[in-house]
Structure 1
C-alpha cells in the first residue's frame, strides 16, 4: 500500500485552502502518491466555489482511503465553527485555532506512520497568537507536538540548500544566537539531514560569516574567531566536512557552482535573499517526522481570488514525498 502525503490547509482566510485543492486534485501539480488534505472540508468546499474550482471534495475517515485521482480532493475533516462567516484576508482567533487543529492531526498521523509526511500550507502567526498558541511558526508547533528540542529549518531552492542559525527574530537577537554550541548543533543536524534525507554520503557544508568579509580576522567583529572557529574545530573532529567562516557574498556563488552541498547562514535575510530568485521549500530538519512547507505566506491580499500560484506548494509536496519515502525505507531496513 502506498502511503499518502498530507497537506494541512493552513489559515482558512489565506491562499492555503486554494493551493491545497489544486495540488491535491490537479494533475499538473499532484505528486506521484495520493494526497490527503487535513482541515475543514466545509472551508475547502466554500473556497472551491469562491474561486470556481471544478473539484470534488471527498471526506475520508482514514488516510488509506485517499487516492490519486484528478478532480478529486480527499480530505480528513477537522471541523471548525463559523465557516460561513470567514472573511478572506482577515486575521481571527478561530482561523488560528483551525490551522493549529489541522497541524495537531497531521503530527498524530505522521507519528503513527499512517502518512509519508506532512506539508504545511501557509498559516498566520498573528492568528496563532490570537488563538492562544504562542509559537514563532508552524515548525515550532511540530517540534512541541513531537517532543523535539533540537531542530532547525533547511531551505531548498534551485541548486541551493541553506540552514539558518536564527530565523524569525530581531537582528539583535540573531546576533546573540550566533554561539558556538548552537552552530555546532545545527551543522550536526544539517550533516545528518543531508546524509539520511538527501542521500549525500559525505556532505560538504559551507559556513557564512556573520560580519562583512567574515570579520577580516577580527577587524570587523570577533564572532568568527570567538564563536564560529571553536564550533568548526569540534565539527571537524567529528569527521564533518565544514568550511572556515566565509564571506557570504562569495559563499553562495560557490555553493551554486557545486562547491558545497549546503550552506549555514547566520541570520534570516542572509540565507533567504539568495533563495528568493528560485522560490524555496522549507524542510524541518531534526524532527522525527517528515515535514516541509512552501517559502511564502498567506498572501491575504489575493486570498480566495483564484489567482494564487500552487507551483511552490506542489514542489514542497514532491520533496516531502521523496524525503518521506527515503525515511520509510531506512526505518524498514
Structure 2
C-alpha cells in the first residue's frame, strides 16, 4: 500500500535585505534529510548560492526530488543587487510577487502550505502596496480566489502555548472601545474550528483573558469583562464550545501550560506575546487561522541589523516549517 504524500511547502523569500536568505539556507541545511519537510523558495537563486547548494526549478513538483541535495528555488524577479541590512524599494515588486505566487500554489494544490519570511510593510507601501499588512494581503488573495469573505486570526505557538489575539497592532488606549461581543464570538469560533481541523483536538478548551487586572475583579477594575467578554463566552458555550469566562491574564497562561486549556485568546498584542516569547524566544511561530490555506511564519521581523552582521538565528523559521507541515498533515488526515 502506497503511503499518501503531500506536495512540498512553499516559502516566500521575504525582504531579501533582511535575515530571510540566511535563515532560509540554514533551515534547508537543518531539514534537508527529512523528505516530509520538503519546501521550495520563491525568490532569487543568487540570494542563497553563497550559503548552500541551490537548484533552480520551473515547477513546485520538482522540489521534493532534489530537496535532500540542494535548496529548490523557483525564480521570481527581476531583483536588483541586494546588500544585507540595506532595504531597497526596488525589491518590492518581487517581494509582493513571491507572496502572490505562494498563495496561488497553495490554492491550486501545488503546495501543501505557505511559510512566509518577514517583510517590511513600509518599504512595500512606497511601491504602492495598499494592504494593512502581510496577513491581510494573504487573506485578501484567498478571499478573491474563493469568493468568500475571510477573517484572518493571528495565533502564536511556542513554549507549549497556543495564543490567539483579539486585537493586534493598535494602541492600548484604543483597545477597550474596539472590543465587541459579536467579534469575540466569531474569533472564538475560528479558534475552536482551527484547534479541531489543524491540531486534531476533538473537544478544544479555550480561555479568554480579561482585559483588566484580575479580570476586572467583579467590576472594581473595569467592566469590559462583564459587559463584553463574558457575554461572548456565554454565547460560545451555548454553541457547545468549551470557552471560559475572562480569566486573569497573570495566571491563565500557567493554567494552559498545566493542561487546563488548549488555547488562550488574549485581548491585547503584548498580553499574548510576552508569555510565548519569554518561554520560547527563538522557536515561536506565527500562524494565521481562518484561511483556506495553511500559513505560518517566524515570529520576528526582517532583522536588518542581524542580516548586516551575519548574526542570524533560524530557529523560528525551522519551527514554522515544522508547524506548517504538521497542520497540513492534520488537515489531510495523514
Decide: shared fold, TM above 0.5: yes
How far apart in 1 are the matches of 2:303 and 2:100? 23
Look up the match of 1:119.
Answer: 115
1:176-187 to structure 2, matched below 5 A, reads 176-187=177-188
The match for 1:317 is 321
Equivalent pair of 1:292/1:320 in contact (CA under 8 Å): yes
Q: Distance in 2 between matches of 1:328 and 1:77?
A: 29
**1:8: Cα distance to partner?**
0.7
Match of 1:62 in 2: 59
Unaligned runs of 5+ residues in structure 2 are 144-148
The residue aligned with 1:156 is 157
Q: Which residue of the partner structure matches residue 206 of structure 1?
A: 207
| Count of residues in correspondence between the two structures | 321
After superposition, where does 1:88-127 map in structure 2 within 5 Å?
88-127=84-123
Query: Aligned residue for 2:146?
Result: none
5+ long unaligned stretches in structure 1: none
Aligned residues: CA RMSD: 1.8
Q: TM-score, normalised by structure 2?
A: 0.91
Deviates more, 1:1-10 or 1:97-106: 1-10
Q: 1:28 Cα shift?
A: 7.2
Report the CA distance between 1:2 and its aligned residue: 4.0
Distance (whole Å) between structure 2 residues aligned to residue 154 and residue 199 of structure 1? 16
State whether residues 211 and 221 of structure 1, in contact with CA within 8 Å, keep that contact through their aligned partners in structure 2.
yes
Determine the C-alpha separation between the residues in 2 that align with 1:29 and 1:254: 37
* CA pair 243-70 structure 1, distance change in 2 beyond 3 A: same
1:3 equivalent in alignment to 2:20: no
> For the residues of structure 2 that align with 1:327 and 1:33, how far apart are their CA atoms?
16
CA displacement, residues 195-235 of structure 1 (integer Å, 9 cap, x when unaligned): 01000000000110001111111111111111112211110
Tell me by how many angstroms 1:60 deviates.
0.6
Match of 1:130 in 2: 126
Structure 1 residue 111, shift from structure 2 partner: 0.3
The residue that corresponds to 1:41 in the other structure is 45
3-state SS, counterpart of residue 66 of structure 1: helix
1:73 is aligned, of 63, 71, 74, to 71
State the Cα deviation string for residues 79-132 of structure 1 (Å, max 9, x = none). 1332x2x23223332233322111100000000011110101111121121222
**Counterparts of residues 2-41 of structure 1 (less than 5 Å):** 2-27=6-31, 32-41=36-45
Q: TM-score, normalised by structure 1?
A: 0.91
CA contact (8 A) 1:92 1:130 kept: no
Q: Retained in 2: the 8 A contact 1:165–1:177?
A: no
